Amino acid sequence: MSFNSFGHLFRVTTYGESHGVALGCVIDGCPPRLPISEAMIQGFLDRRKPGQSRFTTQRREPDTVRILSGVMADEASGQLLTTGTPIHLMIENVDQRSKDYGEIKDKYRPGHADYAYDIKYGIRDYRGGGRSSARETAARVAAGAVARQVLPGVTVRGALVQMGPHKIDRSRWDWEAVDANPFFCPDPVAAAFFEEYLDGVRKAGSSIGAVIEVVAEGVQPGLGAPIYGKLDSDLAAAMMSINAVKGVEIGDGFAAAELGGEANADEMRMGNDGRPLFLSNHAGGILGGISTGQPVVVRFAVKPTSSILQERRTVDRYGRDTDIVTKGRHDPCVGIRAVPVGEAMMACVLADHLLRHRGQVGTPAAWPFEA
């Protein structure tokens, strides 16, 4: 058991606070002889980095990652290879703006973890939210970059599919569009609208929620295990562990509750390659907790940023009523930067389950099972 680790065979432990010296992760169990590099990991971190547009916090963090252990340079190519020992990825904090924390030091910001940490531990690092800050997710993104190397042939991609009450038009879904707007939005029309919409939210000193969808294609069938090691169960835990997430769905999710059995069933037919084919994907690629080879589809709801410029009622550490306005540099829609984080969690969970499956089952049985 570990409070700050996730995964079992591919296991990630993170540490660090928002305004501490450094944050990072130790990846334990990564298979040996996989190529990784700081540049490759940096590419993923840069997607999550703050200060990329006026729609994310203006904190300026380079988020430069260093690989401090677990690799060895290949003699011929110079390429770093994993060695099977723990990989430590560290990001030093740079822009911990020197400021007066008087307000949030003693007052509990509604919607934030301030009160919860104090009631649990009786002490908390209030600077920038400390351990509860979304800054911790940088370490996840770094780990996710390594996890992807464990998953050759698998594509993990995320997108913002709803902002506030506004859903995208899925018929316009274009993966190419995702990196062409500051929202990771696959619908260019919606993206244009979100620009205007979020400007309004921002200027009003408010914030707004969002829904993120992450899709993994090329996932080998057989990952996941009954009953408490189900792939969807671990994905739900992983996504719900992301800051501000309040809901998780697999495949049709809550919409499945409205369906009848015949509509919900994903029928099968033999494909041209001699392997079974599903005719739909209501299940989101998972049946009985085990991947079927279809795309694995997860969605999660992100609540609006709690740090807003509008005054709210609260109490302080002295047990007194008070009010609070949370100034500072905040994302008006924290859901946006959750997209690369959701991808990273998907990659980590899949990598872990691949190793677990390989361990328990080893050589799979031949298809078709009866001949």
Residue with tokens 């049985």: 365
Confirm or reject binding of residue 249 to a second copy (CB under 8 A): yes
Computed from CA positions of residues 307, 310, 315, 317, in that sequence, does the dihedral angle turn out positive or negative? positive
How many Cβ atoms sit within 10 Å of the Cβ of residue 29?
18
Q: What residues between 203 and 232 interact with a second copy by CB under 8 A?
A: 206-211, 221-222, 224-230, 232
Which amino acid is residue 226, in one-letter code?
A: P
Report the binding-site residues for NADP(+): 48, 54
Report the binding-site residues for FMN: 131-133, 243-244, 288, 303-307, 329
Burial 103-138 (b: 16+ CB within 10 A, else e): bbebbbbbbbbbbebeeeeeebbbbbbbbbbbbbbb
Smaller CB separation from a second copy, 50 or 304: 304
Piece of the chain touching a second copy by CB under 8 A; list 42-50, 85-93, 178-186, 190-198:
85-93
Least spacing, CB of residue 221 vs a second copy, in Å: 4
Q: What residues between 262 and 321 interact with a second copy by CB under 8 A?
A: 262-270, 274, 276, 279, 282-284, 286-293, 301-308, 310, 312-321
Q: What residues between 2 and 31 interact with a second copy by CB under 8 A?
A: 2-6, 8-9, 11, 13-17, 20-24, 26, 28-31
CA angle 139, 22, 35 (to 5 degrees): 45
Question: How far from each other are the two terminal CA atoms of the chain, in whole angstroms?
Answer: 44
Q: What HEC string does 276-300 produce?
A: EEECCCCCCCEECCEECCCCEEEEE
Residues contacting a second copy: total by CB under 8 A: 163
Considering only 165, 171, 272, 273, the residue that binds a second copy (CB under 8 A) is 165
User: From CA 318, how far away is CA 106, in angstroms rounded?
Assistant: 8
Report the binding-site residues: 48, 54, 131-133, 243-244, 288, 303-307, 329
Residue with tokens 């899949």: 350
Q: What residues between 124 and 153 interact with a second copy by CB under 8 A?
A: 124-125, 130-132, 136
Smaller CB separation from a second copy, 76 or 176: 76
